[in-house]
Amino acid sequence: MAGFADGEGSFHVVFRPRKDYIQPWKVSLCFNISQNEKEILTQFKRYMDCGTMRQRDDGIWYFEVNNFNAIRNNVVPFFDKFRFRSAKKKRDYSKFKQIASIIADGRHLQKEGIEEILKIRKEMNGGGKRKYGDKEILDRFEV
CA 1 to chain centre: 18
What per-residue string of b and e applies to 11-41 under the rule 16 or more CB within 10 Å gives b? Answer: bbbebeeeeeeebbbebbbbbbbeeeeeeeb
Please report, for residues 3, 49, 86, 123, the alpha-carbon distance to residue 71 in angstroms, rounded to integers and kept in the order given: 19, 11, 21, 20
pLDDT of residue 106: 92
Q: Which is the CATH superfamily of the domain at 2-140?
A: Homing endonucleases (3.10.28.10)
User: What tens digit of pLDDT does each residue of 73-132 get?
Assistant: 999 999 999 889 899 999 999 999 999 999 999 999 888 999 999 999 988 876 667 788
| Secondary structure (3-state) at 132 | coil
- The helix (H) or strand (E) run that includes residue 31 is strand 25-35
pLDDT of residue 114: 92
User: Is the pLDDT confidence value at 143 over 70?
Assistant: no
- The helix (H) or strand (E) run that includes residue 34 is strand 25-35
d(C-alpha 141, C-alpha 109), whole Å: 10
d(C-alpha 15, C-alpha 55), whole Å: 23
User: What tens digit of pLDDT does each residue of 1-32 get?
Assistant: 778 788 888 999 999 888 887 788 889 999 99
Q: Where are the domains of the chain?
A: 2-140
User: What tens digit of pLDDT does each residue of 24-57 get?
Assistant: 888 999 999 999 989 989 998 999 999 999 999 9
How is the beta sheet containing 9-17 ordered, strand by strand?
Answer: 9-17, 25-35, 61-65, 52-55
State the Rg of the chain over Cα.
Answer: 15
